[in-house]
A and B are shown apart, each in its own frame.
Chain A
């Protein structure tokens, strides 16, 4: 199994640009999670899906952030417009069960907004 796949692995963009992060969960996993990690705030859950349906998006910082999961094998996290304070590592994780008890993390996308 290839594990959770994320792309791009690194992204450098300018303030105001749109950023799209992509994630392919492990095949057969029903839950997908998007996290953001910074030194100051640690690892924060942004949103999670179960069976492609968003369950809890209370961690999404503001309207500039949106996430979709059009099918069981693909999800996107979009930031529009991006700001320097969005610079962080964004992780996607997937889990077989609805409770997300055992989450497998992807390698992350390192985002730098100039």
Chain B
């Protein structure tokens, strides 16, 4: 079992819709959780971090964490074509960083 699992997609949503990206992790002692965005041919960039159960909102982005279910999600409201990218979920267990393989998102104008 991989440390971090993501649905590779591709996920397609129409412009203006809500995109929902999901991630599960295996190590219960994981302490912090991150979402990175990676455009094709570019490097990952951090867009959200979350450390405690519940929701965290930043502009059009909302990260959700459920430690009991070992589940992290990212919601993108009012999706824009510029949101089209691969979204990587990352987990810090305190000793190691693990990334998922990413979910490819396409926002259709």
A residues apposed to B, CB below 8 Å? 33, 35, 41-45, 48, 56, 58-59, 91, 99-108
Q: Is B49 on the interface with A (CB-CB < 8 A)?
A: yes
Least CB distance from A88 to B in Å reads: 13
Given contacts A33-B97, A41-B101, A42-B100, contact A105 B92 (CB under 8 A): no
- In the bound complex, do residue A103 and residue B46 qualify as a contact, i.e. CB atoms below 8 Å apart? yes
Inter-chain CA distance A105–B99, complex, in Å, is 14
- In the bound complex, do residue B100 and residue A58 qualify as a contact, i.e. CB atoms below 8 Å apart? no
- In the bound complex, do residue A108 and residue B43 qualify as a contact, i.e. CB atoms below 8 Å apart? yes
B contact residues, range: 10 to 19
Given contacts A101-B32, A101-B49, A102-B49, contact A45 B43 (CB under 8 A): no
B residues apposed to A, CB below 8 Å? 32, 42-46, 49, 88, 92, 95-102
- In the bound complex, do residue A91 and residue B92 qualify as a contact, i.e. CB atoms below 8 Å apart? no
Chain A residues lying within 8 Å of B43, measured Cβ to Cβ, are 91, 105-108
Inter-chain CA distance A45–B34, complex, in Å, is 15
List 9 tightest A-B contacts by C-beta distance, closest first.
A42-B101, A105-B43, A43-B99, A45-B97, A105-B44, A108-B43, A107-B43, A42-B99, A91-B43
